[in-house]
Homo-oligomer: A and B are copies of this chain.
Amino acid sequence: MSGILRPGAAVEMAHGGGGMATTRLIREIFARHFANPILDQGHDAARLNLPHGRIVMSTDAHVISPLEFPGGDIGSLAVHGTINDVAMGGAVPVALSAAFIIEEGLPLETLDHIAASMGAAARKASVPIATGDTKVVERGAADGLFITTTGIGLIPEGIEIAPERIAPGMAILLSGTLGDHGVAILSQRQGLAFGTTIESDSAALHRMVGDMLAAAPSIACLRDPTRGGLSATLNELAEAAGVSMTLKEAAIPVRPEVAGACELLGLDPIHIANEGKLVCICPPEQAEAVLNIMRAHPEGRDAAQIGAVGAHAAPGTPGLLRMETLIGGMRVVDWLAGEQLPRIC
């Protein structure tokens, strides 16, 4: 359809050289799919007007393998992931940047498809990709495509999201099922089939977060349990806040097919990456209202209270995160020391 997208055409080193080939790649693929008033100005950097002053800035390098998977691809994942990081700071995302590192030989059709998916995700979320950069490296010097997205957002007046605000007695809420993203990638990568296809939960959560904060501005903390899963997220928060936490295994939503796959593979959903879920810690009297707001959004349909914050504890205390197991015992939930599923995001 466009000049450079001939059948069989691939990315060449010249596409990263900064000359005419780079300009054509940007015009015919990225500018076409990402079109928005800020990007269309065509400056090297984006210009935007912000109405006032408290902002959040977050960045993520995406190295997921494979590039396309059930429920998404590296492009939509990068958009959702960075929007979510900004939203977890209590902010309304206003713009994204996207930097591409492309391996020579990547089919232009693949790049075009991923850019289209990225543009669609950004439009659906109403967050423009305002600026970008493209580099090409030789065959073997990267693995297809890496995308680094950075997002900025505005924190509304009166919102103060911080782990330090987590206090004893608060409720720990989870917006939905655990493990979908990690198990989807793993199945795809290893060619495993579990009856039904397990899809990634990759989704932008900023609209749900906006509604939650409007209804319950005293929410203490929001976090998306990505790499390292729920266990890393809650251990980090417990340590930052200097509190213990107790989870109820029976209350944690997990899809049956994900639970089955985990059992087969010897994985625990609590350690697995999610890309469309959040943890919310709020005063107990607001838990029900927040859960109802989450459940009103498709991304929060399966929201549940999964535990509560316990007593204060000195920093460095071991075993801050514990879980009441299905059979009624109590176990410490540690961080994983190593890598369970590499290149999951």
User: Which residues of chain A in 176-226 are interfacial with respect to chain B, using CB atoms and an 8 Å cutoff?
Assistant: 223, 226
Enumerate chain B residues within 8 angstroms of A138, measured Cβ to Cβ: 342-343
Cβ contacts A48-83/B at 8 Å (1 or 0 each): 111111111111111101000000000000000000
Cβ contacts A1-30/B at 8 Å (1 or 0 each): 000000000001110111111110000000
Enumerate chain B residues within 8 angstroms of A240, measured Cβ to Cβ: 42
A30 → B minimal CB distance (Å): 12
A228 with B57: CB separation less than 8 A: no
Enumerate chain B residues within 8 angstroms of A290, measured Cβ to Cβ: none
Closest partner residue, chain B, to A49 (CB atom): B53
Enumerate chain B residues within 8 angstroms of A19, measured Cβ to Cβ: 228, 232, 335-340
Closest partner residue, chain B, to A47 (CB atom): B56
Enumerate chain B residues within 8 angstroms of A62, measured Cβ to Cβ: 135
Enumerate chain B residues within 8 angstroms of A134, measured Cβ to Cβ: 61
Interface hit among A148-156, A165-173, A281-289, A298-306: A148-156
Assess A152 versus B53: contact at CB under 8 Å? Given A44-B223, A85-B44, A101-B146.
no
A250 interface residue per 8 A CB criterion: no
Q: In the bound complex, how far is the Cα of B162 from the Cα of A42, in angstroms?
A: 10
A141 interface residue per 8 A CB criterion: yes
* Residue tally, chain A, CB below 8 Å to B: 82
Q: Can you report 28 A-B residue pairs in the complex whose CB atoms are below 8 A from each other?
A: A16-B342, A17-B339, A18-B227, A18-B228, A18-B229, A18-B232, A19-B340, A22-B227, A43-B89, A44-B85, A44-B223, A45-B85, A46-B56, A46-B57, A46-B58, A47-B54, A49-B55, A51-B53, A59-B99, A61-B99, A63-B101, A135-B343, A136-B339, A136-B342, A138-B342, A142-B146, A146-B146, A150-B150
Contacts A17-B228, A101-B146, A148-B150 aside, 15 further interface pairs with beta carbons under 8 A come to: A14-B337, A16-B227, A19-B232, A19-B337, A44-B89, A45-B57, A45-B88, A48-B55, A57-B150, A57-B152, A59-B148, A61-B135, A63-B137, A135-B343, A141-B142
Enumerate chain A interface residues (CB-CB to B < 8 A): 12-14, 16-23, 42-63, 65, 85-86, 88-89, 91, 95, 97-101, 130-138, 140-143, 146, 148, 150, 152, 155, 162-163, 223, 226-229, 232, 236, 240, 273, 335-340, 342-343
